[in-house]
Amino acid sequence: MIHPRTGRVHTSFNQTGAATGRLSSSDPNLQNIPIRSDLGRLIRGAFVPEKGNVLIAADYSQVELRILAHLSEDEVLISAFRAGEDIHERTAREVFSAEELINKAECRRRAKVINFGIVYGLSAFGLSKTLGISREDAQSFIDAYFQRYRGVRAWLDSTLEEVRRQGYSRTLFGRMRPIPDINSKDSNVRHFAERTAVNSPIQGTAADIIKIAMIRIHRALRARQSSAKMILQVHDELVLEAAEKEADSIYSLVRQEMEGVTELLVPLKVGLNIAGNWMDMK
């Protein structure tokens, strides 16, 4: 797949490949290069910049949970993000008993599953399988979560009611996604549509945010006549290539443009890394 003229591998980005609005990548899919395995990391090590350049990776931090905090206006989530707290540790403190919190690492792991599971409509059955616990314990964790994050519960309920009435969901920026099965008589079909209805405004807004960020960064780089360029988007992450001598200024520009896309009730935060190859970014 190496291009004969550039000597590089080039992907194709698909604007409408995913129903949520996320970009997808194909031929080859560079959004799906593994990172967790040793072999995957070695593969990432093969992605290098031109001589004299570096790679800059910019990744939105917990963007979907921050969007949830904004949409739901939940006071606990908002206060945690504004204070710069570890949101998974905060949820662990809200959901688990003092006795359970003795094992902080395990409670944080479980809280992370719950936090992201709520966004994706995770049921007690699904949570029990993921955590390897009984369905009763899983349900008690979910109940405890909604007891503390009451704004999230209210937002989920109102969103479902709105989608049932209108037949579509809407992102923060107004982009609509039809969900025709929301009132289906088939319970399995309907439940899937309900999960889609609550996830789409969150994941769809995240997709909108990074696309706007990409436009802002492109315009800013062009305005300063920089040789730096975006070379890859992996959902909530952008990878750029820049001359080593201007890496610090590009680093600052990218952070400013990504964090300034829109004003939420909680701050958008971006983590950045500079390295000589893609493997060393994490």
Tens of pLDDT, residues 106-118: 889 889 999 988 7
Q: Is the pLDDT of residue 216 over 70?
A: yes
**pLDDT value at position 119?**
73
Beta-carbon contacts of 28 under 8 Å, excluding residues fewer than 6 positions away, are 1, 9, 11
Confidence of residue 36 (pLDDT cuts 50, 70, 90): confident
Spatial distance between the Cα atoms of 34 and 85, rounded to a whole number of angstroms: 29
Overall average pLDDT of the 233-253 stretch:
95
**pLDDT value at position 96?**
84
Span 167-195, pLDDT tens digits:
999 999 999 999 999 999 999 999 999 99
| Four-point Cα dihedral 157, 204, 27, 48, nearest 10 | -120
Q: State how beta strands 237-243 and 229-234 pair.
A: antiparallel
Higher pLDDT, 98 or 252: 252
Confidence of residue 219 (pLDDT cuts 50, 70, 90): very high
Confidence of residue 26 (pLDDT cuts 50, 70, 90): very high
Q: Catalytic residues, which ones?
A: 59
**pLDDT value at position 202?**
95
Confidence of residue 94 (pLDDT cuts 50, 70, 90): confident
Confidence of residue 282 (pLDDT cuts 50, 70, 90): low
For residue 163, with 0-12 CB atoms within 10 Å meaning exposed, 13-18 middle and 19 or more buried, which class applies?
buried
**Least confidently predicted of 25-29, 36-40, 85-89:** 36-40
CA distances from 136 to 56, 89, 102, 115, 144 (A): 45, 23, 21, 18, 12
* Mean pLDDT taken over the chain: 93
| Four-point Cα dihedral 139, 169, 187, 124, nearest 10 | -10
Spatial distance between the Cα atoms of 277 and 152, rounded to a whole number of angstroms: 40
For residue 245, with 0-12 CB atoms within 10 Å meaning exposed, 13-18 middle and 19 or more buried, which class applies?
exposed
Among residues of the chain, what percentage have pLDDT more than 70? 100
pTM of the model: 0.92
Overall average pLDDT of the 136-150 stretch:
91
Domains along the chain with CATH numbers = 12-62+208-281 (3.30.70.370), 64-203 (1.10.150.20)
Confidence of residue 155 (pLDDT cuts 50, 70, 90): very high
**pLDDT value at position 201?**
96
**pLDDT value at position 48?**
94
Q: Is the pLDDT of residue 105 over 80?
A: yes
